């Protein structure tokens, strides 16, 4: 079930991107329910424009009819007359009384610099002798009563960028600093010099592969030089003198043998 729900959302998003947005015209306007007594469908509020004027049409369904209409159109929610977040229909700029009319059209000059229009459509409707308060269905005000408003986007804003976006794109930069746009210093990139290794040819690669590492040469100890006293050579005369000085060993004769 969860997978089906996710698939439905994705399909809706894809279709919203593929299907072009159509303009609101008298033949195909934006339609909002006219709710009487918070839960009765008393008719519709239809809105469209022709790039010059904004049209808001009240239409009721049987057995409802209009006795009063009050309409407020503004570029912001604060532009709709309110008191403590509650709308005040009696102070709306567009209003009229009716003798049980089934429709009524308001024509309002269109501000081409606004791409989101806030509309509060109020009416007093009658059915079978009873009168009820009715509002064009939409978003709630911040007050305690059940008054509502809805949003409308002019046709010119559906196919071209908004005036604010156009001004942002075509604005010429100036040298005067402002509090909203501050130039953030960019970090200085540190340049690191890397040693480039020369490209080796295949022949050089083979030579390095066959090259045997040089064995570690251990230093040999330095032989200690021993100074020996050199004896001078003796002359023949000196040799004879030393020979006479030394005692001659006596020879021991064997005992005589008795001969018989």
Tens of pLDDT, residue by residue over 119-144, are 999 999 999 889 999 999 999 999 99
Q: Which among 183, 118, 117, 190 is positioned nearest to 149, based on CA atoms? A: 118
90 DSSP assignment = G
Q: Please count the residues of the chain.
A: 260
What pLDDT sits at residue 201? 62
pLDDT at residue 162 tops 50 = no
Tens of pLDDT, residue by residue over 166-190, are 333 333 333 434 444 445 555 554 5
Distances in Å between the Cα of 65 and the Cα atoms of 144, 146, 199, 201, 253 are 27, 21, 92, 96, 178
Tens of pLDDT, residue by residue over 209-239, are 666 555 666 667 666 665 666 666 666 777 7
pLDDT at residue 204 tops 60 = yes
166 DSSP assignment = H
**Structure-token pair, residue 243:** 């020979």
End-to-end alpha carbon distance in the chain: 150
What pLDDT sits at residue 112? 87
The whole-number average pLDDT for the span 93-114 is: 96
CATH topology of domain 30-161: Immunoglobulin-like (2.60.40)
Q: Where are the domains of the chain?
A: 30-161
Cis amide prior to 138 (ω within 30 degrees): no
Percent of the chain topping pLDDT 90: 50
Which of 27-36, 192-201, 221-230 has the weakest average pLDDT?
192-201
What pLDDT sits at residue 90? 96
What pLDDT sits at residue 181? 43
User: pTM for this one?
Assistant: 0.56
What pLDDT sits at residue 158? 83
pLDDT at residue 248 tops 70 = no
- Report the DSSP beta bridge partners of residue 140: 148
What's the chain's average pLDDT? 78
Tens of pLDDT, residue by residue over 89-103, are 999 999 999 999 999
What pLDDT sits at residue 106? 98
Residues 116 and 49: their CA atoms lie apart, in Å, by: 13
Alpha helices by DSSP H, listed for 67-221, are 156-159, 163-170, 202-210
80-86, Cβ contacts within 8 angstroms, sequence gap of 24 or more = 80/118, 80/120, 80/149, 82/141, 82/143, 83/143, 84/143, 85/141, 85/142, 85/143, 85/144, 86/141, 86/143, 86/144, 86/145, 86/147
Tens of pLDDT, residue by residue over 53-73, are 999 999 999 999 999 999 999
R_g of the chain computed on alpha carbons = 57
Burial class (CB in 10 A: 0-12, 13-18, 19+), 132: middle
Residues 26 and 49: their CA atoms lie apart, in Å, by: 8
């Amino acid at each position: 079930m969860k997978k089906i729900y996710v698939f439905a959302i994705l399909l809706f998003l894809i279709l919203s991107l593929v299907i072009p947005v159509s303009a609101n015209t008298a033949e195909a306007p934006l339609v909002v329910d006219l709710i009487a007594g918070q839960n009765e469908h008393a008719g519709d509020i239809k809105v469209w424009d022709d790039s010059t004027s904004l049209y808001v049409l009240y239409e009721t369904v049987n057995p409802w009819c209009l006795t009063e209409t009050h309409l407020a159109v503004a570029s912001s929610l604060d532009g709709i007359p309110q008191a403590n977040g509650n709308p005040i229909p009696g102070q709306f700029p567009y209003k009229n009384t009716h003798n049980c009319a089934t429709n009524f059209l308001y024509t309002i000059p269109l501000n081409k610099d606004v791409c989101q229009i806030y509309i509060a459509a109020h009416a007093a409707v009658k059915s079978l002798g009873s009168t009820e308060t009715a509002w064009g269905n939409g978003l709630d005000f911040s007050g305690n009563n059940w008054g509502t408003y809805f949003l409308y986007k002019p046709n010119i804003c559906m196919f071209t960028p908004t005036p604010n976006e156009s001004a942002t794109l075509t604005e010429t930069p100036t040298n005067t600093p402002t509090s909203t746009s501050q130039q953030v210093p960019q970090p200085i990139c540190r340049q690191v010099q890397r040693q480039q290794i020369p490209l080796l040819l295949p022949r050089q690669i083979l030579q390095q592969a066959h090259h045997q590492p040089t064995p570690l040469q251990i230093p040999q100890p330095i032989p200690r030089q021993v100074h020996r006293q050199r004896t001078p050579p003796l002359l023949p005369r000196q040799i004879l003198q030393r020979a006479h000085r030394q005692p001659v060993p006596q020879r021991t004769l064997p005992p005589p043998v008795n001969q018989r």
